Amino acid sequence: MSPDSVSFIFLNAFLINNFVLAMFLGLCPFLGVSGKLNTAWSMGLATTLVMLISSISAYFINELLVYFEIEFLRLICYIAVIASAVQLVEMTMKKFSPGLFKALGIFLPLITTNCAILGLALFQTHKDYDLYQSLAYSTGAGAGFILAIILMAGLREKLELADLPNTSQGAAISLMLAGILSLIFMGFAGLGS
Amino acid sequence: MPIIEDNTITADTFLTGIWKENPVFVMLLGMCPVLAVTNSVINALAMGLATTFVLLCSSTLISLLRNAIPKEVRIATYIVIIATFVTITDYVIQAISLELYNALGAFIQLIVVNCMILGRAEAYASKNRLLKTLVNSLGMGIGFTIALLSLGSVRELLGNGSLLGYSVFGEAFQPWVVMILPPGGFIVLGAWLLLFNWLKERKASLALAKEGGLS
């Protein structure tokens, strides 16, 4: 597979350079919302949706910025777009599934400060991806995020039944688990090369 | 409704960010840069300083403007202010050391979405006067830098056998490569948290023993 092909870009963002476990992006929701399997799943979906919207918008905005030669405004423009995309998803969710809206709570507006999304927009600009490549990249990143957060949620649900020493309860053991997951994902590093 | 402001600055205003509410070890905020750039001491230090700079500047401005920013659009305003200072930092680091800039990569620009900075803006700078905010932000920034350094030094020492680029263990040392790779970040931070939990528990049980007159 050539490194620029759409399928490779998808695979790269999905497994090889998984946004959460290999590039350390989007750790706040990864550690914060992975307590229960179904909230983790909807958080993953919402994040992926925001990723798609902001990735497409970021692509066109970057074209405009380059055209007018005002690239130094890139960061501010991207973050504004992401904030509006999150607002959009929030309003849609509130209208169509209020239960889910409540379950996600504070973490929904916090998608704005999820570095996976801004990181995605910045990386695709940095790598000069065209529209199709950007789409593949954002779908892959979203799928990778869902995969990571669901794996983590499954592990943590099992963990609740485990008999742990008091000292290792809470964040410490979650981080250790994430470390082991990350080790496993390193096994994908040889893929596609 | 006028906000009642408590303007007394105590040592606690400063120290709370370093120990009691340490953004990394206690609050678990801003984890992404903490894990991503701490594979060597120098990267950790640069990241800590850059974040502290952005934190100080943005909370200064937000504290000064706290009565002028309408409540409904405050988050958007904060983010734009933070993004402005991050852009400045980004260009400054690029001008000072291109090597460092490449090592830190996109994580300088990602300071914008560091929840610690936005959290400070929302919880502290928007409610307190300039001087108090400054002292508190400085404490938080230093706390963040210390946390980054404590991760970075362990990871560089074990993963590379060196500290700040100088070899510590000599030629015979077999580096634990996993420590500078992504999994090492999670594991080292987990280990630090374990240590702090253990200390806290020991302190609590000692206090309990004293109270009960068992000692």
What average pLDDT is seen over chain A? 85
Q: What's the first-to-final CA gap in chain B, in angstroms?
A: 53
Q: Please name the member of B31, B183, B194 whose beta carbon is closest to the beta carbon of A167.
A: B194
B206 and chain A: CB distance < 8 Å anywhere? no
Residue A169's SS3 state is coil
Contacts of B80 in chain A (CB under 8 A): 76, 79-80
Question: Is there a contact between B184 and B175 (Cβ–Cβ < 8 Å)?
Answer: no
| The two three-digit tokens of residue A115, written as one number | 């570095």
Whether B214 shows a pLDDT value over 60: the answer reads no
List all residues 6 or more positions away from B60 whose beta carbon is below 8 Å from its beta carbon: B125, B130, B133, B134, B137
- Residue B69 has a pLDDT of 85
User: B127 — phi, psi (to 5°)?
Assistant: -120, -10
- Residue A165 has a pLDDT of 80
Question: Is there a contact between A50 and A85 (Cβ–Cβ < 8 Å)?
Answer: yes
List all residues 6 or more positions away from B61 whose beta carbon is below 8 Å from its beta carbon: B81
A114: β partners: none
Tell which B residues from 36 to 55 touch A, by Cβ distance under 8 Å: 36
Mean pLDDT of B137-156: 90
- Residue B2 has a pLDDT of 46
What average pLDDT is seen over chain B? 84
Distance from CA of A165 to the nearest CA of B (A): 10
Q: Is A141 left (phi over 0), alpha (psi -120 to 50) or beta?
A: alpha
The answer as to whether B4 is a domain residue is: no
The answer as to whether B130 is a domain residue is: yes
The answer as to whether B31 is a domain residue is: yes
Whether A88 shows a pLDDT value over 80: the answer reads yes
Q: How many CB pairs under 8 A join A and B?
A: 119
**CB contact (8 A) between residue B83 and residue A122:** no
Interface of A with B (CB under 8 A): 21-28, 31, 72, 75-76, 79-80, 83, 109-110, 112-115, 117-119, 122-123, 126, 166-176, 178-180, 182-183, 186
Residues A105-126 pLDDT 10s: 777 777 877 888 888 998 888 8
Whether B5 shows a pLDDT value over 60: the answer reads no
Residues B168-193 pLDDT 10s: 777 777 888 888 888 888 889 989 88
- Residue A161 has a pLDDT of 84
User: Which position has the token pair 């090592």?
Assistant: B103
Best mutation site among A18, A24, A54, A90 for testing chain B: the one with the most B CBs within 10 Å?
A24
The answer as to whether B200 is a domain residue is: yes
B204 and chain A: CB distance < 8 Å anywhere? no
Q: Please name the member of B31, B118, B178 whose beta carbon is closest to the beta carbon of A27.
A: B31
- Name the residue range of residue B35's domain: 13-211
Residues B94-114 pLDDT 10s: 998 888 888 887 888 888 888
Whether A141 shows a pLDDT value over 90: the answer reads yes
Whether B10 shows a pLDDT value over 80: the answer reads no
Q: Is A180 left (phi over 0), alpha (psi -120 to 50) or beta?
A: alpha
- Residue B1 has a pLDDT of 37
Whether B38 shows a pLDDT value over 50: the answer reads yes
- Residue B142 has a pLDDT of 92
What single letter denotes the amino acid at residue B152? G
What is the percentage of chain A residues whose pLDDT exceeds 90? 18
B115 and chain A: CB distance < 8 Å anywhere? yes
The answer as to whether B128 is a domain residue is: yes
The answer as to whether B5 is a domain residue is: no
- Residue A175 has a pLDDT of 87
Q: What is the 3-state secondary structure (H, E, C) of chain B?
A: CCCCCCCCCCHHHHHCCCCCCCCCCCCCCCHHHHHHCCCCHHHHHHHHHHHHHHHHHHHHHHHHCCCCCCHHHHHHHHHHHHHHHHHHHHHHHHHHCHHHHHHHHHHCHHHHHCHHHHHHHHHHHCCCCHHHHHHHHHHHHHHHHHHHHHHHHHHHHHHHCEECCEECCCCCCCCCHHHCCHHHHHHHHHHHHHHHHHHHHHHHHHHHHHHCCCC
Best mutation site among B112, B151, B195 for testing chain A: the one with the most A CBs within 10 Å?
B112
Question: Which residue in A123, A128, A2 sits closest to A51, CA to CA?
Answer: A123
The answer as to whether B197 is a domain residue is: yes
The DSSP letter of residue A91 is: H
**CB contact (8 A) between residue B110 and residue A24:** no
Is ipTM over 0.90? Answer: no
Q: Please name the member of A79, A172, A175 whose beta carbon is closest to the beta carbon of B79.
A: A79
What are the residue ranges of helices labelled H in chain A?
6-11, 27-32, 37-68, 74-96, 98-104, 115-126, 131-159, 171-186
- Residue B56 has a pLDDT of 93
**CB contact (8 A) between residue B79 and residue A21:** no
Distance from CA of B163 to the nearest CA of A (A): 23
Whether A13 shows a pLDDT value over 80: the answer reads yes
Residues A44-86 pLDDT 10s: 888 898 899 899 999 999 999 999 888 888 888 888 888 888 8
The number of folded domains in chain B is: 1
The answer as to whether B7 is a domain residue is: no
**CB contact (8 A) between residue A118 and residue B110:** yes
| The two three-digit tokens of residue A5, written as one number | 């092909």
